[in-house]
Amino acid sequence: MSGITSKTGATILGGIAGPDLSPDERAFFRAADPWGFILFGRNVDTPERLTRLTAGLRETVGRDAPILIDQEGGRVQRMRAPHWTDFAAPLDLAAHGERAVWLQYRLLGEELQAMGIDVDCAPGLDIAGATTHPFLLNRCFGGDAETVTRLGRAAADGLMAAGVLPVMKHLPGHGRTKVDSHHDLPVIDATLYDLEQTDFAPFRALADLPMAMTCHIRLTAVDDAPATASKPVIELIRNRIGFDGLLMTDDIGMQALSGTLPERAAAAIAAGCDMVLSCNETIPEMERIVAASGGLRDAALRRANAALSFRKAPDDADLADLRAELRALGGLA
């Protein structure tokens, strides 16, 4: 059993100040009982400190809580040299083919697993286009739905072979956006037909994955509210795209969203998101987010348990051979 109940917070929390847990952080997490945690570069120092941190986080909630990280390769990777491998960005990696993608994420997943990290916020299934904002462009696997679907599946399979759960993102598709949702609300004016044929297609094809992340974009063809806070968009994700796994928000602190942090969290849960992701908030801010998000209920509790049931030990592999193969394919410097 996962040990989670209806009293477990519908939150993934990341407001950890550094590479070591403070007494105040320990006490807060013990009381808040979030479903999981997410780590950032500020939390990553040496392997010894990182494994101590992941073990300490689990100790605060008294269970094998999932620990997430953004480790895509390229610009978005929290664990870096000299202790870990600097992997290629998805768009650069894509040029080396499907096998190279699987190999990178198998090896990347092995490094995460060794540190006690069992969830990676990848693969990104957004489709790159001529106007895609630079913050997202090289994080995409390609410029068409077929390529993104095929390489996204290879990345997800590589992670799961390493015993790491993937989180596909950013539903229902961020690739058309011209602004950075960390700072502004992107608006997509495409028709629902065009979105169905392109943006939604990779997510529909990988809808069997256990977890996914929303994005803070406005689809004018569906609703005026950002996707994360839009009941019609969440219903579209569930019914038209067909994803019935655990759906978490993108970072609730991003400025594409309006309102206070508790208002954002409550709106996301009301819209149908299962989990609120808080990445950079202080303890008082996280306390308010936890209160607004509530506990896991009904379908969200079922999905949270189902997602964790996908966890397994890494497959047997000769990692040196896999690394040599990736290097021979040109996917590793």
Residues classed as catalytic: 182, 250
Place of tokens 């209920």: 297
231: left (phi over 0), alpha (psi -120 to 50) or beta: alpha
What does the alpha-carbon distance between residue 25 and residue 151 come to, in Å, rounded to a whole number?
Answer: 38
> Which tokens sit at 252?
């609730």
**Continuous segment of H or E residues that includes residue 237:** helix 231-239
> Phi then psi for 73, rounded to 5 degrees?
105, 155
Give which of 161, 32, 27, 57 is closest to 105, Cα–Cα.
161
Task: Reduce the DSSP state of residue 116 to 3 states and report it.
Answer: coil
Per-residue CA distances from 320 to 46, 153, 289, 325 (Å): 22, 23, 44, 9
Give which of 79, 80, 59, 50 is closest to 3, Cα–Cα.
59
Q: Which residues contact 183 (CB under 8 A, 6 or more apart)?
A: 254, 255, 256
> Phi then psi for 124, rounded to 5 degrees?
-80, 130
What does the alpha-carbon distance between residue 297 and residue 15 come to, in Å, rounded to a whole number?
Answer: 24
> Which tokens sit at 101?
């993608």
